[in-house]
Copies of this chain bind each other. A is one copy, B any other.
Amino acid sequence: MILSDSSQALVLHFGEMGSRWGFNRTVGQILALLTIHPEPLNADQLAQALHISRGNVSMGLKELQAWRLIERQHQPGDRKEYFTPAGSIWDMARVVFEERRKRELDPTLTLLRQQLLETPQTHNETQTQEKMQEIYDLLEQLNTFANALHDMNPERLKTLMSMGSGVSKVLNFGAKKKVS
């Protein structure tokens, strides 16, 4: 397995971006390679192509399966396990989006909800709670919005995204309609 310059560049880049997107370098590289490679790949092929140890590949694949981004496949007559992306690019984006929503918003919402149940004992604590309420309201609304996006079917989502700046206009109309 030898990668073209172009594939190589993409794989390395996804490795670097991995940590920004929620996984580590190796996981990013494995995901990129499985995504652009037309055929399913096995763990040995991945280790060889990416120059990483067999054990590391195993851990990376485990994580990508936990994210539900890749799937195991068996090739007839071959005892090895092969892997492919679990869906289209759009499906993968939705999975990453939802997982990140969970990791980045849910824990904080839970904490704030707890803190807001406490009865403030001093003037200072009252002020603190007011700030927390503000943060809570913001995150709660972000969360609702993210869920609304996530619950759309891919087609509608695609349409929405492709509207680009037209979104603002449409939303404005919607808002007025809602208010009136």
- A140-180 residues at the B interface, CB under 8 angstroms: 141-142, 144-145, 147-149, 151-152, 156, 158-175, 177-179
- Inter-chain contact A6/B128, CB cutoff 8 Å: yes
**Most chain B CB neighbours (cut-off 10 Å) among A134, A144, A158, A167:** A167
- Inter-chain contact B171/A173, CB cutoff 8 Å: no
Closest to A153 in B: B168
**Cβ-neighbour of A17 out of B20, B107, B179 (below 8 A):** B107
Cα–Cα, bound, A131→B84 (Å): 14
**Most chain B CB neighbours (cut-off 10 Å) among A6, A36, A88:** A6
- A17-57 residues at the B interface, CB under 8 angstroms: 17, 20-22, 35-36, 38
Name 17 A/B residue pairs within 8 A (Cβ), A-sorted: A6-B120, A6-B125, A6-B128, A7-B128, A10-B112, A10-B115, A13-B111, A17-B108, A20-B103, A93-B138, A145-B160, A156-B171, A156-B172, A163-B174, A166-B174, A170-B171, A174-B174
Known: A13-B108, A160-B171. 4 other contacts (CB 8 A): A10-B115, A141-B162, A142-B161, A174-B174
A interface, CB within 8 angstroms of B: 4, 6-7, 9-10, 13-14, 17, 20-22, 35-36, 38, 88-90, 93, 103-104, 107-108, 111-112, 115, 118, 120, 122, 124-125, 127-129, 131-132, 134-135, 138, 141-142, 144-145, 147-149, 151-152, 156, 158-175, 177-179
